[in-house]
Copies of this chain bind each other. A is one copy, B any other.
Amino acid sequence: MNLKQLSEQLGLSQTTVSRALNGYPEVSEKTRERVRQAALDFNYKPNTRARSLATGRAMAIGHVIPVSTQQEMVNPIFGDFVTGAGEVYSEHGYDMMLSLVPDSDEESFYRDLKIKGNVDGIVVHSPSMDDTRIALLNELQLPYVVHGRASAIEAPYSWVDVANVRAFEALTGHLTGLGHRRIALFNGIESLDFAHRRRTGFLNALTEAGLEADPELMLSWDMTESYGFDEASRMLARSEPPTAFAVSSLITALGVRRAVEQARLTVGRDVSVATFDDDLSYLRNGTPEAPVFSGVRSSVREAGRRVGAILLSQISTPGAPPASEMIPFELVVGTTSGPARI
């Protein structure tokens, strides 16, 4: 059933039917109700593509996931983030388009997305410090929101981020407050902005505590479980092993814990572990009342929601200035941290 057929059924023009369904005022309430009922009866829904063509709005948001050609890892936060954003989209009748793009031809991909007109806005994932996509999207006049920030970019742009510096100050401060002096950092890839900021927060906290950073204890890599295990095992075998670990991902922290336990040490007593926790649905950090890992927690699903909301508002008010928002985090004290034993 399309608009033409429906209007013939009703003995009305397509114009009137369209206006009735879209809530325009030039239709009597009686007619509107009749149209509405008929649409329901015949299960009429306007064809998305035709409507998009006519209105110029795609009613879809693009999520572009850069797929690095070397490291093939899919970001584990992805599912939860997208779920949060998707909630907002469907409330507003938007669809979500997912694209996995080899980072080699990313630029032309964004260009094409604009030209081919299949999205009204896009979400920028995993920004690096001087991410070139931001300038490109400004140039393209395609609304966007960055999940995270790009510290090296001066120009204003829309973003949603967690206060990574302060989060890692808090996380690391928790460890120094317990008396730890040799603290290892297991960070993500530091060309990515979030990891760079976390490193900064880590270093700030060390300085604050009058400690010096040991480059050999500071690691940066894809945050897998085995990364945590392998590197922590190596560190624990040193002559002067760290007494605490600041970790950037709960998954990696699981690996670190495994290494500690395999070394016949007890987490929270012999060695402390504090981690950033994205509050992933399939990887809860204990229960809200009884967290297992100490560290900081911030919901990436909530971040997704906020990104979605801001992007939609940017789209609905073109020319609006960039908007940004901080997602809160909280310090969580579980059982994996304890006083340093010299």
Residues of chain A at the chain B interface (Cβ within 8 Å): 1, 43-50, 52-53, 58, 60, 63, 65, 67, 72-76, 78-80, 82-83, 86-87, 90, 95-101, 111-112, 115-118, 222-226, 251, 254, 257-258, 261, 280-284, 286-287, 292
Add 19 more A-B contacts to A47-B117, A226-B292 (CB < 8 A): A45-B116, A46-B116, A47-B53, A49-B53, A50-B53, A67-B83, A74-B83, A74-B281, A75-B282, A76-B76, A76-B283, A78-B79, A96-B98, A97-B97, A97-B98, A224-B282, A225-B254, A225-B283, A251-B282
Q: Tell me the complex Cα distance, A46–B283, Å.
A: 43
Chain B's closest residue to A76 (CB) is B282
Chain B's closest residue to A78 (CB) is B79
Find A226's partner among B46, B76, B284 (CB 8 Å cutoff).
B284
Find A79's partner among B46, B74, B99 (CB 8 Å cutoff).
B74
Q: Tell me the complex Cα distance, A50–B111, Å.
A: 18
**Contact partners of A284 in chain B: CB under 8 A:** 224-226
Secondary structure at the A interface, as helix, strand, loop or mixed, is mixed
**Contact partners of A112 in chain B: CB under 8 A:** 45
Given A226-B286, A284-B224, check contact A83 B100 (CB 8 Å).
yes
Find A74's partner among B49, B53, B80, B117 (CB 8 Å cutoff).
B80
Find A49's partner among B75, B117, B257 (CB 8 Å cutoff).
B117
Q: Tell me the complex Cα distance, A97–B58, Å.
A: 13
**Contact partners of A261 in chain B: CB under 8 A:** 261
Q: B99–A90 contact, CB under 8 A? A: yes
Q: How many Å from the CB of A15 to the closest CB on chain B?
A: 19
- 6 contacts across the A-B interface (CB closer than 8 A): A47-B53, A72-B281, A73-B281, A74-B83, A76-B283, A78-B78
**Contact partners of A79 in chain B: CB under 8 A:** 74-76, 78-79
**Contact partners of A58 in chain B: CB under 8 A:** 49
Q: B116–A99 contact, CB under 8 A? A: no
Top-8 shortest CB links A-B = A74-B79, A86-B100, A76-B282, A48-B118, A78-B79, A49-B52, A73-B281, A48-B116
Q: Tell me the complex Cα distance, A63–B116, Å.
A: 22
Q: B45–A118 contact, CB under 8 A? A: no
